């Protein structure tokens, strides 16, 4: 079955980037000239997704506005003949892609947030994209998400994107047990168990779940029955751990680099990495970095 839908949970409070995220959603913080959420939506579109379901909450309407028309601004840019800027704000998603939103009224965890999209997803397979995480190859048509979708469409095994993390960071992630097998870059390996935020001495591996999932529609039923897990929250990881007893679930080892924009250092790194690639900022930023490094030697 074709994968057409993406669920993007954007109802988090952004506590790791306060006070920046007090009055604006953390997903609207810019990396160079686009908000983080735009990169993530463009990644989904590049991978062939046609319907995006935002799981949102009160105080987050700037995200929906960003993807909506802004007639006054458009008229003003047209009047001033600023055609490039006009195109940049008018065509954020192509006309054949729709964006809808559902609400998560209570912060009960990622599994609960995904389940809030159950009626919009129906019984179709779908992807989950965690919007904090930027993937460096996200805008390519052959991005990691596209590869995961094509693997799912060929063998019906759910795909969970993983990357290796240092041993002392495993307690921050969902961790996959692939019985000692480490898939090659861009390859998948069967997952035997998945555990949310294990203690370092109990972790089955250092293969961490990095925020991209391709899941069958039936995960929604498992989430509906989900009990609070790590941190007292309903965890997506726990529902996938039940799913893998019923059908194949694979760990897909990502090829791109990731930046966690939900925390300060990752956000700064993303701005530098993307700024070094942007035609308007690359040269100036390179010069600035070399001045900084020479004065700190």
> Is residue 110 close enough to count as binding ligand G1P by CB under 6 A?
yes
Under 8 Å CB-to-CB from 123, ≥6 apart: which residues? Answer: 217, 218
Q: Give CA–CA dist 128/123, Å, rounded.
A: 15
> Is residue 267 close enough to count as binding ligand G1P by CB under 6 A?
no
Work out how close the CB of 57 gets to ligand G1P at its nearest, in angstroms, rounded to a whole number: 15
Stretch that binds ligand G1P, among 29-37, 75-83, 202-210, 247-255 (CB under 6 A): 202-210
Under 8 Å CB-to-CB from 7, ≥6 apart: which residues? Answer: 53, 55, 114, 117, 120, 121, 126, 127, 128, 129
> Is residue 130 close enough to count as binding ligand G1P by CB under 6 A?
yes
Q: Give CA–CA dist 161/253, Å, rounded.
A: 6
> Is residue 209 close enough to count as binding ligand G1P by CB under 6 A?
yes
Among 36, 133, 240, 251, the residue binding ligand G1P under the rule CB under 6 A is 133
> Is residue 191 close enough to count as binding ligand G1P by CB under 6 A?
no
Helices (H), the chain: 36-46, 61-66, 71-79, 83-90, 110-115, 118-121, 144-155, 219-224, 236-243, 264-275, 282-295
Among 131, 204, 211, 229, the residue binding ligand G1P under the rule CB under 6 A is 211
Among 151, 196, 238, 241, the residue binding ligand G1P under the rule CB under 6 A is 196
Q: Give CA–CA dist 27/12, Å, rounded.
A: 9
> Is residue 208 close enough to count as binding ligand G1P by CB under 6 A?
yes
Among 174, 216, 229, 266, the residue binding ligand G1P under the rule CB under 6 A is 174
Work out how close the CB of 198 gets to ligand G1P at its nearest, in angstroms, rounded to a whole number: 11
Please report, as ranges, the residues that interact with ligand G1P according to CB under 6 A: 110, 130, 133, 173-174, 196, 208-211, 235, 237
């Amino acid at each position: 079955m074709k994968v057409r839908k993406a669920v993007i949970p954007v109802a988090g409070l952004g506590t790791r980037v306060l006070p920046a995220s007090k009055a604006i959603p953390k997903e609207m913080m810019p990396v160079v000239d686009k908000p983080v959420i735009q990169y993530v939506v463009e990644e989904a579109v590049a991978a062939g997704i046609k319907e995006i379901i935002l799981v949102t909450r009160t105080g987050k309407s700037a995200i929906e506005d960003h993807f909506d028309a802004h007639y006054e601004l458009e008229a003003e840019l047209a009047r001033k003949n600023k055609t490039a800027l006009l195109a940049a704000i008018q065509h954020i998603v192509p006309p054949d892609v729709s964006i809808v939103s559902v609400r998560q009224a209570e912060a009960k965890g990622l599994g609960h947030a995904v389940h809030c999209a159950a009626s919009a997803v129906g019984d179709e397979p779908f992807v989950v994209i965690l919007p904090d995480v930027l993937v460096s190859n996200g805008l390519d048509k052959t991005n990691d998400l596209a590869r995961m979708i094509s693997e799912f469409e060929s063998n019906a095994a759910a795909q969970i994107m993983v990357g290796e993390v240092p041993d002392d960071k495993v307690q921050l992630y969902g961790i996959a047990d692939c019985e000692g097998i480490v898939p090659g870059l861009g390859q998948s390996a069967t997952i035997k168990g998945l555990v949310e935020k294990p203690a370092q001495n109990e972790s089955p591996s250092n293969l961490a779940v990095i925020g991209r999932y391709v899941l069958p529609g039936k995960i929604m039923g498992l989430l509906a029955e989900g009990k609070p897990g790590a941190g007292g929250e309903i965890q997506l990881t726990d529902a996938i751990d039940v799913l893998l007893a019923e059908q194949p679930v694979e760990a897909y080892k990502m090829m791109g680099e990731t930046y966690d924009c939900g925390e300060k250092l990752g956000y700064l790194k993303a701005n530098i990495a993307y700024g070094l690639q942007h035609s308007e900022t690359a040269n100036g930023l390179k010069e600035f970095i070399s001045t900084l490094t020479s004065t700190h030697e």
